[in-house]
Chains A and B, each alone.
Chain A
Amino acid sequence: MKILYLDTSSSFLYCAIVKDNVLIGELKLKLEKDLSTLALSEINNLFIVTSTTPDDIDKILVVNGPGSFTGIRIGLTIAKTYAWGLNKKISTISSLEAMAVSCVESFDYYIPIIDARRGYVYAGIYDKDYNQILSNQYIKLDVLQATLDNLPGTYTFISNDSFDNLGNIQRYDPDFLKIVAKYNDKEEVNPHGIDALYLKLTEAEEKQGEVQNA
């Protein structure tokens, strides 16, 4: 069974083809503003070097957020169009799940965080078996930190972003085999129904909400 894994929710293109639990090709490219230009041509190159055709893929596992809004939409549009177009199975996972599972060192708790600016982060808390203790959310960093005092055990943050005075931060480097092994059997969804996990309203909606609540 060939699985295509795709994550464009940050400035990186993370992509892998996994066949029967063997990694046959991967991309870990910091594309930043070139993500929209290069994502699909890099994926195409990956298919060429691994002698894979689009029809060879049996299932797509795509990250639907949180992270960069534009980045999320690039990967999600590619994945849902691919799955719909060639009638492939597709499942979504969150970027935070992928980050937690990829941690190399063992801890009692994993706290993947993504900088959401203005003192906020996207974060979740996962236990050592990757069960969610705190649901993925858009949260003030100091509020998140306050909840950690009650955690009974060791923990680490996982992030590719920079934070001051946060203590132990493991750099995020996706372990494609672990991610795919963990989420391979996740429930399949209809490609049409796939949507991004932004975890945050747009500014216009937030302002409208403030006006309505005033």
Chain B
Amino acid sequence: MKDVYILGIESSCDETSASIVRNGTDEIATVILSQIDIHTNFGGVVPEIASRHHVKNITMVIEECLNKANMKMTDIDAIAVTYGPGLIGSLLVGLEAAKTLSFIYNKPLIPVHHIAGHIYANNLVKTMEYPLIALVVSGGHTDLVYMEDEYQFRHIGGTLDDAVGECYDKVARVIGVGYPGGPVIDKMATEGKHSYQLPMPLDDDSYNFSFSGLKSAVINLVHNEEQRGNIINKEDLATSFQDVVVDIITKKTIRALKEFKTSRLILAGGVAANQGLRAKLSTVCAENNIDCSFPPIKYCTDNAAMIATAGYFLYKQGKFSGLELNAKSSVELK
């Protein structure tokens, strides 16, 4: 069978990325231009600034990717692009570039859901087997997804308010340790002890999450301690916070695996790089004979390789889009 080369384009937040993946498994070349240094100055991603940088960089990123792969656009079978969810202005740049390439080269255009991309990043490491539960944790998402078969998604739960990564960023800001909060708090959590009492968020029978109450509890705790003239032990607070987050995510994930009678778990999204979460899930999965797949850190954060990979499975099904494809800031995973 002829090899299929998909060019993936991702620009849903603050990374401009292009990648070429063969047959949904082999990453040929990936280029990621991150804007993190720019947005760090503002304490978080500024959507308009992100969009401005995407438009500056998009063609350079695609060209560099092709050069790295030593390929030409004519060697590409289809163009896969993130159409949502994400920052609308950012999404539009990648989308218009992909649509234009589809138009001028007469190549199929494949619309990829950003979360499907995160999930399929795992296929670059090991061929995914079904059924499985996917835990998607990032700056914009905290989702549990059941996949009975290839490219079949059933969203069984998600955050009702802040995404877990967003909560990390806000807590990091409150305790004054900078942006992005996830890696900083994760590291600090290894140096402290669980000495602060924080509420377990939305500890119910659903597969939903809620982190705004936990965030408020941290803010109140810091405020109250400051008013009493006490100095916060930031490492201890990071440990206490991370323990609660990791506990509730692990608890609901394991319950989902049991209820849906599958012993396969895959982790996806930027917060999948969190060492505390990985360690806890590894331990609990080992205790429950669950095959747990953690993608390498480079596939956890936003990248176009995951979009090209997910795009391959849509290519196989002939699920293409016309040039009227639009970006969507919010869209259900189906």
Residues of A at the B interface (CB closer than 8 Å) are: 36-41, 43-44, 54-55, 69-70, 73-74, 76-78, 80-82, 84-86, 191-192, 195-196, 198, 202-205, 208
Contacts and interface: CB of A to CB of B under 8 A. Distances in A.
Given A196-B52, A202-B46, A205-B49, A82 B89 contact: no
B103 A43 contact: yes
Interface string B306-334: 00000000000000001111110000000
Given A40-B100, A198-B52, A84 B63 contact: yes
Contact of B105 (A37, A40, A76, A85): A85
User: Which of B52, B104, B325 counts the most chain A CB atoms within 10 A?
Assistant: B104
Contacts of B88: 70
Given A84-B59, A191-B59, A195-B56, A40 B96 contact: yes
Interface in B30-70: 41-42, 46, 48-49, 51-52, 54-56, 58-60, 62-63
A186 to B, nearest CB: 20
Chain B interface SS verdict (over half): helix
A157 to B, nearest CB: 28
B92 A74 contact: yes
Given A43-B103, A81-B62, 12 more contacts: A37-B324, A37-B326, A54-B104, A73-B89, A77-B96, A81-B100, A84-B63, A86-B104, A202-B46, A203-B48, A204-B42, A208-B41
Closest 7 CB pairs of A and B: A81-B100, A77-B96, A41-B323, A54-B104, A37-B326, A202-B48, A204-B46
A84 to B, nearest CB: 4
A81 B55 contact: no
Interface string B81-97: 00000001100110111
A74 B325 CA distance: 13
B114 interface: no
A81 B52 contact: no
B92 A70 contact: yes
Contacts of B156: none
Given A73-B89, A203-B48, A82 B326 contact: no
Contact of A69 (B41, B42, B51, B99): B51
Nearest to B63: A84
Interface string B174-192: 0000000000000000000
B55 A195 contact: yes
B246 interface: no
21 contacts: A36-B95, A39-B96, A40-B96, A40-B99, A40-B103, A40-B323, A41-B322, A69-B51, A73-B51, A77-B58, A78-B99, A78-B100, A81-B97, A82-B104, A84-B63, A85-B104, A86-B104, A195-B55, A198-B52, A202-B46, A204-B42
Contacts of A204: 42, 46, 48-49
A82 B97 CA distance: 8
Contact of A85 (B41, B49, B51, B101): B101
A43 B323 CA distance: 10
Contacts of B63: 84, 192
B73 interface: yes
Contact of B324 (A41, A82, A191): A41
Contacts of A69: 48, 51-52, 89
Contacts of A198: 52
Nearest to B57: A192
Contact of B59 (A44, A70, A73, A192): A192
A205 B47 CA distance: 12
Contacts of A78: 96, 99-100
Contacts of B59: 80-81, 84, 191-192
